Amino acid sequence: MRPILHQMDIPPTWLALHVAVAWGLSLVSPALFGDIGHWAGKLVFALGILLMAVAILTMARARTTVIPRRDPSALVTHGVFAWSRNPIYLADALILTGAVLMLDAVLALPLVASFAWLIQVRFIRDEEARLTLAFGPEFDLWAGRTRRWLGRK
């Protein structure tokens, strides 16, 4: 991959691309959600921003990277990471869902699933391999009790 394209291959770029496609689909999508969807979308969007901020702050306090494809210096398993192994990516999905609701773009709802799949394939699998290499059994224990996206096992 060309260096500039490699630098652009980050989750925020993919999120922006998905939101842009959602906006395009909103131009041809039948109105379904109305005012309720608009306000629910704002709430979900804000929840995503809040979750992302808390996760980034938690990682910063642990002095580890939030940048994909960089080696972690610490395994963060507390706070929001006790409920999701990937709270920042979950936050991205919430932001996209909120945008779809606010745009009243019912045809864009499948983008949330495609975004989650793309993030899992392009980033999460690599990050899990890095965490396994760096933290071995400690990562395995955390992965055994905390789901990739949301919830405890």
SS (H, E, C) 17-47: HHHHHHHHHHCCCCCCCHHHHHHHHHHHHHH
Q: What's the pTM?
A: 0.92
pLDDT at 18: 97
Q: Cα–Cα distance between 73 and 134 in angstroms, integer?
A: 8
User: Is it the case that residue 8 has pLDDT exceeding 80?
Assistant: no
Q: Cα–Cα distance between 112 and 96 in angstroms, integer?
A: 7
Q: Cα–Cα distance between 87 and 147 in angstroms, integer?
A: 11
Output the average pLDDT for the chain: 94
pLDDT at 40: 97
pLDDT in tens, 117-130: 999 999 999 999 99
Judge contact between 20 and 99, C-beta under 8 A. Answer: no
Q: Cα–Cα distance between 40 and 24 in angstroms, integer?
A: 20
User: Is it the case that residue 36 has pLDDT exceeding 70?
Assistant: yes
Distances (CA, A) of 101 to 26, 32, 104, 115: 10, 9, 5, 16
Domain locations in the chain as residue ranges: 46-153
Q: Cα–Cα distance between 77 and 58 in angstroms, integer?
A: 10
When pLDDT is averaged across residues 141-150 and rounded to a whole number, the result is 96
Nearest to 102 by CA among 46, 12, 33: 33
- Kindly tell me the burial class for residue 101, based on how many C-beta atoms sit within 10 Å of its own C-beta (0-12, 13-18, 19 or more): buried
